[in-house]
Structure 1
Amino acid sequence: MSYLELTAAAKQQIADIALISGYLWERGWAVKNGGNISLEITGEINLRSSDLNPLTYTPLKHPCPDLSQMYFIMTGAGTRMRDVACQPLSHVCVIRISDDGTGYYHIRDEVFNSPAVPTSEMPTHLAIHQFMKKQGGKNRAVLHTHPIELTALTLIPGFCDESRLNKILMSVQPEAVIAIPGGVGLVPFILPGTDQLAEKTVASLRYYPVVLWEKHGCIAIGHKLQDAFDLIDVLNTSAKLFFLCREAGYTPQGLSAQEIENLKKYY
């Protein structure tokens, strides 16, 4: 039985998940089952029956009252992005937060038939979605991935500093300043999937739309999934340019502070 009725907007969201998952795999940012995606789709999906099977209910360790009755699509735990790209409906999960925000229902039917449970990073994703809900605005997408050159910067002691990273990433190309004028955040290494990582990430997202996770990867938010991807793509290009210059034996001159300020004012 199909419990869910997908609107055209929801179908487009699923197509975007497939598209971006393919990009992540092609770039080598999603080795094995690395990375995860979540989208808030409330209003874009209709439940044919109000009879939510209690067997699909899972309590949340940390209630999310601000997300009550909201719907989300998330990649499944252990799923590979290359598989999500080919068969998204078989590798993503649809969840509905309970009326009181203390748990969620995992909705499975003949369309959404993934055997996987939601991503192990779900606590971080829900914490971010709750933060975005409180902030207002249009952001509804969360993307976590492992961009190679960007992550490599966090492995070098001399560069693994928020101020230093921003100086490097913002100065090597105008596009970084234009796309992310406020810069990026950095969270020191914390065990993935933990409450502490969620807390530190949300704290950093108050100031930055992209947060690097030291020795791990990064996470970005946006109105659409492609928006979040674009931010990471621009930043990773900056990291690539930096390393290309260093491999050639040069320290990149980069944009001056005045040039960066002029870009911010103009755009």
Structure 2
Amino acid sequence: MAMEDLAFIKGFCRLCDDGFKQGWHERNGGNLTYRMTDDEVAEAKPFFEEPREWVKMGVRGENLAGQYFVSTGSGKYMRNVLEDPYANIGIVEINETGDAFHIVWGLANGARPTSEFESHYMNHCVAAARTDGADRVIYHAHTPGIIEMSFVVPLGDRVFTRILWQMMTECVVVFPTGVGVVPWMVPGGPAIAEASSELMQTYDAIVWAHHGLFAAGPDFDTTFGLAHTVEKAAEIYLAARAANGGSDDFLNKISDKGLRDTCRDFGIKINEAFVD
């Protein structure tokens, strides 16, 4: 038995590989973090190594102080995670004040967690608080359809959400609160972390304009499924718009009544601010 044999590590690696196979992770693009359960920490501790030095994050989140996270590495390639987890991912512990971490396993040869770990951590703090601790996964992917949409659609939560909801029947079921949109910002710093965490108080999925998608969920399958659904809807919108001569004044689309009726039948509360 090794760390790589534990179920949560296998699930983490599979998501990285699934995202790469979708074409969402060119070079070292994208990242993934997972907040471990107490049982998983106990299971993993026999494989922990001598902790490295504490690293200040530049942000603080006290509600997840002392927690352990699995993270992809800065500069690491998603395509290599499944083949060599120890070199490409690692486990970090958050300090008692929630503003620093140190590495306790993996990220070999002096590697560090993703450069966007600050954004991940702040969004974990918000998502955990919003879901009473249920959300444990934060996933960022360079989804091409969403990136393309951010060039041709006004950068607003309502307009993005309505377009995506109207592309596929299941969209309003998968993300009934909608999607948030962050205008383009320099990645990897406190500013985009704070902007994203504000939106994460409402949404499970956040568009980073000209950059990709940020998604949260309770487990690997749910989170990947959310990202996959949002991205597929974006691709359908772009294809339909191109087929319609560049216009999104489509002959047919799902009506607001249809969106409400779908949520009613599935027992889901729709974001009323986004329907007429």
Report the TM-score when normalising by structure 2.
Answer: 0.86
2:216 corresponds, among 193, 215, 221, to 221
Corresponding position of 1:93: 90
Residues matched between the structures, number: 257
1:57 & 1:67 partners in 2: Cα distance? 16
CA contact 1:139–1:224 (8 Å) conserved in 2: yes
Unaligned runs of 5+ in 2: 267-276
CA contact 1:56–1:107 (8 Å) conserved in 2: no
* 1:51-62 superposed matches below 5 A: 53=51, 55-62=52-59
Corresponding position of 2:274: none
Instruction: String of CA shifts for 1:197-231, please: whole Å, max 9, x gaps.
Output: 11111111111100001111110000012211111
CA shift for structure 1 position 113:
5.2
1:153 corresponds, among 149, 152, 158, to 149
Instruction: Tell me if 1:264 matches 2:267.
Output: no
Instruction: Tell me if 1:72 matches 2:66.
Output: no
The root-mean-square deviation of aligned C-alpha atoms, in Å, is: 2.3
2:136 maps to a residue whose letter is R
1:263 maps to a residue whose letter is T
Distance of aligned partners of 1:7 and 1:18 in 2 relative to their CA distance in 1, 3 Å threshold = closer
2:17 & 2:107 partners in 1: Cα distance? 20
CA contact 2:48–2:104 (8 Å) conserved in 1: no
Corresponding position of 1:185: 180
2:101 corresponds, among 100, 104, 108, to 104
CA shift for structure 1 position 52:
5.2
Report the TM-score when normalising by structure 1.
Answer: 0.88
CA contact 1:124–1:193 (8 Å) conserved in 2: yes
SS in structure 2 at match of 1:56: coil
2:104 maps to a residue whose letter is I
2:144 maps to a residue whose letter is I
Identical-residue share of aligned pairs (%): 23
Worse overlay, 175-184 or 18-27: 18-27
Corresponding position of 1:139: 135
SS in structure 2 at match of 1:86: coil
2:259 & 2:155 partners in 1: Cα distance? 22
Instruction: Tell me if 1:172 matches 2:167.
Output: yes
CA shift for structure 1 position 7:
10
2:126 maps to a residue whose letter is F
1:50 & 1:85 partners in 2: Cα distance? 20
2:108 corresponds, among 108, 114, 133, to 114
Query: After TM superposition, where is structure 1 displaced by more than 6 Å over at least 4 residues in a row?
Result: none
2:29 corresponds, among 34, 41, 53, to 34
Unaligned runs of 5+ in 1: none
Worse overlay, 215-224 or 93-102: 93-102
CA contact 1:172–1:255 (8 Å) conserved in 2: yes
